[in-house]
């Protein structure tokens, strides 16, 4: 028999033709897809019992002859019932199946078969209820697939059960070529892990549960090991690259800090020091600055940018100063950064520019210039006249070139930082230093694994004067009270955010960006109409969603942000999709109302809540939920109890898994590795093993199979 390859189409396997559409629904297209469609759990039918020893409640396997089999149809419910009398040397028992008439043909009288199921009492007699079965030979010694063993249970689809999947898996395991192991033998031996061929058999058809557990650990370890190697390799690549070192005097930095209207917190100062140390080196920084919403990350990044653009002993940028770029995911956030930097660094005359799709502005010192033409702005950036440029992806257009780009700040997109930095340096011999910023608190285990190539700086406290946000879970019975409170706060001049979830769920195959956006827009429109027509007809309400044009979004946000404007000009309530999560700073907004709170992850809810409490006024967050599920309320209560975002992130990792932070489709990691990200011990073992291999063989010349697999892995897993 010819061996099949892992990349062979599943259609090449005999017997799969009528199941191809069903296999496709399970995302199985190749031989490897099927073999890596690992069991979700196992049923233990390994204990084979004489029929005479069965007792009510036993879940065991019996092997015997079909003495008789009958198909009847019940008169009341019109249900098909198959009854088979099975006998072995010790006794007899009846097996019963409901609405499976084909079984009568599969188990003719005289058939020897193995049956696994639960023994139960039915009308005073002991029966086997809906047992799994398969044929056996007269010696009863051949290996079984569905009974008499640890039986794998898979993710199924309509028309293809675990029994069918087991059939195809066993068939392919007998035909597939022997796989080459890329993990060094000593690594597997040190951790007592099976090699890949043995692991494949053991994860699908283990003789003991312990074998299944070790096989699962083996496959999880493989991906985590490759992930750690990738991180270490990325660090080594950066270490060898050239970067512009930023020379500065501490006295200049202190003078700059003295111009701020408030003193930085202790962790802001510590983070700034770590960043300044990194950018003083001639190899690129790769650092993540983490802190809660409103903790002051932008001001820290801004000081680093000003320091980069200003030569020592000079408060104003000279031609010798180098350039910094701020990349923001949305125009709203880009404008916010522009406003922050021009507000706090008024003495900086080196030029701070805003470059988004339909707006270009430049700030030189105290005076904000009128909008400039994009063509002129692009020339001034290329010549080095403008030292700090803030924008969206407009910054990485081919028409935008920098003179000496020394620092790139990427906000809320650390997953894409390396790729975008590569775009920004495509015509430069020097790599810019990279500072990623994130308000999403990332658990320590994820930082050590997925983000292991990043150095970490933490801002752990909020600026002085900020009050903690009072957070309440609002049940349906208390909605009217919450609405009355909100109306009262608005009458005092306060403003309100309302965030809506996507109410409808969609099939994974239909899950496109456009479909998701349509459902989000529908949700926002329904909430907007309800609040406008029924709940708050006396208040001014606006809505914001991703399908709106940029100019329209800007106009709405501008109206909402006019905290000191006349009542007729300012919006009281803004109804939005999760677009509000990033880049909105309205100090006068003191209430965050979240509809369907149970539909969001804790990390996302934490982000939403951080959109209020930006000033010194007392702020509130109301979590509206219709759910009565205790687990839902336990999860929401953890938001109330958590002392900080990092504590909450660890809780969310336990409850919802790493997909809440990473997005499964974004990481490219298989399910088994995604789950393993919650296992700190396995992560530690993978890290240690990767460090040892790289130490002994930095370029993996002694491990060509590992080097090739790592190259493939970097294409599959694309966190940049």
| Helices vs. strands in the chain: H and E counts, helices first | 25, 22
Examine domains 260-459 and 470-643 and report if their fold is the same: yes
Share of the chain above pLDDT 90, in %: 40
3-class state of residue 298 by DSSP:
helix
Mean pLDDT value across the chain:
83
Q: Are 203 and 36 in contact (CB under 8 A)?
A: no
pLDDT of 320 above 80:
no
pLDDT beyond 70 at 142:
no
User: Pairing state of beta strands 433-438 and 286-291?
Assistant: parallel
Which residues have a Cβ under 8 Å from the Cβ of 42 and sit 6 or more positions away? 150, 151, 152, 153, 206, 209, 212
Best CATH choice for the domain 260-459 from the list 3.30.360.10, 3.40.50.300, 3.60.21.10, 3.50.50.60: 3.40.50.300
Q: For the domain bounded by 47-148, which CATH number is listed?
A: 2.40.50.140
Name the residue with tokens 């029924």: 534
CA distances from 674 to 288, 370, 425, 648, 682 (A): 22, 50, 32, 19, 12
pLDDT above 70 coverage of the chain, percent: 82
270 has pLDDT over 60: yes
Provide the pLDDT confidence category of residue 198 given band limits of 50, 70 and 90: very high
Helix, strand, or coil (residue 281): coil
Q: What is the pLDDT of residues 219-234, one digit of tens each?
A: 989 988 998 898 888 8
What is the torsion angle, in degrees rounded to the nearest 10, for the CA atoms of residue 350, residue 351, residue 352 and residue 355?
-140
Mean pLDDT of 344-352: 88
Instruction: Return the domain boundaries, the chain.
Output: 47-148, 260-459, 470-643
Average pLDDT over residues 247-266: 88
DSSP state of 149: S
Q: Confidence class of residue 581 from pLDDT cuts 50, 70 and 90?
A: very low
Write out pLDDT tens, residues 281-296.
Answer: 999 998 889 887 778 8
- Residue 303 is predicted with a pLDDT of 95
pLDDT tens digit sequence for 461-479: 777 767 778 999 999 999 9
| pLDDT value, residue 576 | 86
pLDDT at 453: 73
CA 499/CA 520 separation, integer angstroms: 10
**DSSP string over 24-52:** HHTT--BHHHHHT---SEEEE---B--GG
Q: How far apart are CA 702 and CA 588, in angstroms?
A: 62
Query: In the prediction, which pLDDT does 634 show?
Result: 84
- In the beta sheet, which residues pair with residue 119? 128
* Domain 470-643 class, CATH top level: alpha beta
Question: Phi/psi class of residue 545: alpha, beta or left (left: φ > 0; alpha: ψ in -120 to 50)?
Answer: beta
Mean pLDDT of 62-88: 89
pLDDT tens, residue by residue, 662-709: 554 444 566 666 666 767 788 889 989 999 999 999 889 999 999 999
Q: What is the pLDDT of residue 448?
A: 64
The whole-number pLDDT of residue 659 equals 56
Nearest of 47, 81, 82 to residue 61 by alpha carbon: 47
Q: How far apart are CA 587 and CA 617, in angstroms?
A: 8
- What digits encode the pLDDT tens for the residues 389-419? 999 877 877 788 899 999 999 887 644 445 5
Helix or strand run (H / E) with residue 113 = strand 112-122
Assign residue 360 a region: left if phi > 0, alpha if psi is -120 to 50, beta otherwise?
A: beta
**In the predicted model, is pLDDT for residue 374 greater than 50?**
yes
User: Which stretch of 143-157, 194-208, 426-440 has the lowest confidence by average pLDDT?
Assistant: 426-440
Q: 623-650, pLDDT tens digit by residue?
A: 999 888 888 888 888 888 776 666 676 6
- Give the pLDDT score at 564: 46
**pLDDT tens column, 435-454:** 988 877 676 666 666 676 78
Any idea which of 337-351, 469-483, 598-612 has the lowest mean pLDDT? 598-612
């Amino acid at each position: 028999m010819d061996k099949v390859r892992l990349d062979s189409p599943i259609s090449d396997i005999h017997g799969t033709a009528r199941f191809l559409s069903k296999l496709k629904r399970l995302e199985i297209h190749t031989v490897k897809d099927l073999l890596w469609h690992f069991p979700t759990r196992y049923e233990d039918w390994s204990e084979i019992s004489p029929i005479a020893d069965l007792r009510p409640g036993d879940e065991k396997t019996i092997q015997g002859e079909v003495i008789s089999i009958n198909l009847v149809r019940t008169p009341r419910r019109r249900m098909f019932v198959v009854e088979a009398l099975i006998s072995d040397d010790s006794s007899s028992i009846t097996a019963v199946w409901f609405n499976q008439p084909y079984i009568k043909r599969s188990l003719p009288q005289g058939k020897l078969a193995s049956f696994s199921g639960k023994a139960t009492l039915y009308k005073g007699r002991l029966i086997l209820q809906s047992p799994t079965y398969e044929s056996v030979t007269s010696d009863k010694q051949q290996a079984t697939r569905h009974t008499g063993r640890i039986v794998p249970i898979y993710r199924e689809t309509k028309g293809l059960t675990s029994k069918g999947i087991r059939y195809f898996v066993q068939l392919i395991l007998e035909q597939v070529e022997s796989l080459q192991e890329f993990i060094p033998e000593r690594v597997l031996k040190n951790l007592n892990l099976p090699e890949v061929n043995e692991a494949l058999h053991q994860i699908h058809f283990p003789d003991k549960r312990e074998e299944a557990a070790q096989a699962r650990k083996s496959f999880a370890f493989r991906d985590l090991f490759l992930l750690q190697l990738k991180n270490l390799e990325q660090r080594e690549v950066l270490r060898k690259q050239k970067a512009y070192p930023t020379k500065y005097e501490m006295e200049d930095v202190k003078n700059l800090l003295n111009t701020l209207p408030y003193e930085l917190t202790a962790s802001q100062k510590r983070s700034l020091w770590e960043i300044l140390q990194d950018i003083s080196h001639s190899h690129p920084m790769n650092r993540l600055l983490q802190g809660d919403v409103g903790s002051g990350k932008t001001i820290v990044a801004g000081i680093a940018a000003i320091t980069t653009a200003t030569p020592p002993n000079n408060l104003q940028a000279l031609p010798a100063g180098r350039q910094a770029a701020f990349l923001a995911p949305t125009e709203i956030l880009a404008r916010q950064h522009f406003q922050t930097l021009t507000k706090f660094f008024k003495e900086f005359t080196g030029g701070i520019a805003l470059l988004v799709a339909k707006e270009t502005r430049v700030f030189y010192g105290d005076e904000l210039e009128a909008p400039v033409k994009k063509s002129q702005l692009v020339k001034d950036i290329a010549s080095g006249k403008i030292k700090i440029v803030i924008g969206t992806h407009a910054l990485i257009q081919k028409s935008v070139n920098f003179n000496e780009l020394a620092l790139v700040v990427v906000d809320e997109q650390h997953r894409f930082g390396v790729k975008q930095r590569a775009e920004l340096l495509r015509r430069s011999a020097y790599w810019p230093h990279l500072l990623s910023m994130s308000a999403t608190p990332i658990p320590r285990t994820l930082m050590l694994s997925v983000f292991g190539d990043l150095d970490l700086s933490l801002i752990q406290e909020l600026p002085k004067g900020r009050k903690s946000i009072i957070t309440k879970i609002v049940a349906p019975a208390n909605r009217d009270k919450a609405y009355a409170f909100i109306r009262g706060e608005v009458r005092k001049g306060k403003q309100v955010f309302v965030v809506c979830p996507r109410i409808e769920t969609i099939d994974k195959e239909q899950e496109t960006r456009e479909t998701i956006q349509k459902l989000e827009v529908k949700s926002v429109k329904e909430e907007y109409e309800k609040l406008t027509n029924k709940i708050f007809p006396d208040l001014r309400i606006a809505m914001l969603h991703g399908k709106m044009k940029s100019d329209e979004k800007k106009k709405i946000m501008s109206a909402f942000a006019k905290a000191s404007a006349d009542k007729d000009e300012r919006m009281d309530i803004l109804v939005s999709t999760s677009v509000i999560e990033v880049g909105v700073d309205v100090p006068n907004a003191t209430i965050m109302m979240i509809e369907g709170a149970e539909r969001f992850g804790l990390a996302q809810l934490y982000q939403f809540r951080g959109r209020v409490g930006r000033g010194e006024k007392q702020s509130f967050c109301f979590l509206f939920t219709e759910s009565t599920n205790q687990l839902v309320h336990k999860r929401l209560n953890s938001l109330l109890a958590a002392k900080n975002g990092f504590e909450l992130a660890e809780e969310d990792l336990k409850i919802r898994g790493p997909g809440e932070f990473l997005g499964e489709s974004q990481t490219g990691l298989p399910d088994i590795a995604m789950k393993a990200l919650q296992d700190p011990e396995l992560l530690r073992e993978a890290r240690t093993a990767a460090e040892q291999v790289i130490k002994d063989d930095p370029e993996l010349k002694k491990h060509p199979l590992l080097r090739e697999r790592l190259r493939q892995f970097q294409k599959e897993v694309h966190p940049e």
